[in-house]
Amino acid sequence: MLKQEILYQPNSANLFARIADRPWAVFLDSGQPESQFGRFDIMAANPFIRLITSGAQTLIIDQNGSRSSDADPFELLKASLAPYALEQTELPFEGGAIGYFGYDLARRIEHLPEVALDAEEMPEMMVGVYDWAVVVDHRLKRAFLVSHVMHSETQQDWLALCTLFTEPQRLEVKPPFKISSALQSNMNYKDYSKAFHRIQEYIHEGDCYQVNLAQRFSAKASGDGWEAYQALREISPAPFMTYMNVEHKQTAFKVLSASPERFLQVHGQHVETRPIKGTRSRSINAQEDAANAYALQNSAKDRAENLMIVDLLRNDIGKACEVGSVQADNLFALESFANVHHLVSTVTGRLAQGMTAIDLLRACFPGGSITGAPKLRSMEIIEELEPHRRGLYCGAIGYIGFDGNMDTNITIRTAIYSHGEIRFYAGGGIVADSELDKEHSETLDKASSMLALIQRFGGDVSLADNKA
């Protein structure tokens, strides 16, 4: 193993800036170093294996060239990692897979109707296998460049990598990020109302108990996506943030995620998921802010929604965990972020013998907190009522290490910047006693950090046709 300590910097963005433009650069950003979930930041670039799933085919690019396979993409990822398996590593990540699993990758698991328009024009999965990484430990205030030298080029490039992260660097001046159009939504209030009432009909007819309904926002954009992400992490720091700079077929995709929600974590045999259900807006008035938090904590409706999803996730992780090991450890905990309060529950389990983190990911994908219950019927209704396929939104981003450990987010509060446009979604769970105006307002509350980002770079976020 190669390990080089480098100068710790409280703002890890200063380190990542050195590689932000490199091929497949990724930054798993804890966002708020003082929080219990904000200890480690992870960054890497130039993976030696790339897996890109589009429709029924996965393109695998490695040192032997490229080939295409119609096999299960989760199994292909397992096979790509298998030759490099390690025992438990000291740091949370010392090489392995990092990437995204888009919501629509679920079509490789379940049979879903094809109704919504695929306007994202991005692969359903983009995962790289990385031979080196920088890991920043905010608790110990130390940072390390690490590699287990799984790829021959790493040994040759090691001194250059050490120099890159230790010597002063002159950063390139790039065109500033800017928004050049008013923000648009794919659902005005009338459209949202129609979809809301159709979900209510489905619930009363017994088709489902809850459906997550989301709208898609977009605006024309140009310039440096890394600049936009740095602004987002100031506006809305969150524990499971990500910036990705990936490319496919000469199209660059910048992923700017400020997710507050953990999807699945595996450490050894320990499994954890932390679903969010229940939201109230923050207020600059301390008394009003406290009242909003109190109302959320004591809302029977929000607690019932949260419990419904906890039960769904207990069932999902139970598919890959030892019988009797799954339990809800902490229900309805209040967590407060820059723009919203949330109710967060914690569900844990123990990975069953013979099961891997990737098996668990497939068994639970996509996360139940952003589909509804029952999951498959909710996804069918989402496909019927949302005008566009979700793409990466409500999928997962994270790592699976050579040692088998994994940590992933639920990809909410996330923007995609590509094709001269920035796009993001916001939604919420609809249940039997939901109220139209409150649900619509909650959607805009959840979009508030992205709206602030658009506004900061000159965009009009009035959304006049999106109001009641």
Known catalytic residues are 261, 277
3-state secondary structure of 110: coil
Q: What is the largest CA-CA distance in the chain?
A: 65
Q: Residue 422 pairs with which residues in a beta bridge? A: 219, 417
CA–CA separation, 314 vs 316, rounded Å?
6
The tokens of 233 are what? Answer: 């992490």
Write the single-letter amino acid at 182: A
Structure tokens at 53: 């799933």
Please give the structure tokens belonging to residue 304: 């019932």
Which one, of 280, 302, 304, 303, lies nearest residue 290 by Cα?
280
Based on C-alpha coordinates, what's the Rg of the chain? 21
What are the residues whose beta carbons fall under 8 Å from the beta carbon of 66, sequence distance 6 or more? 59, 60
DSSP string across 334-357 = EEE-SSEEEEEEEEEEEBPTT--H
From residue 45, alpha-carbon distances to 19, 20, 97, 218 in Å are 7, 8, 11, 28
Please return the burial class of 353, using the count of CB atoms within 10 Å of its CB with bins 0-12, 13-18 and 19+.
exposed
DSSP-derived secondary structure for 266-331: EETTEEEE--EEEEEE--SSHHHHHHHHHHHHT-HHHHHHHHHHHHHHHHHHHTTB-TT--EEEEE
d(CA 431, CA 454) in angstroms, rounded, equals 31
Say if residues 430 and 424 touch (Cβ distance below 8 Å): no
Q: Running DSSP on this structure, what letter comes out for residue 213? A: E
DSSP classification of residue 351: B
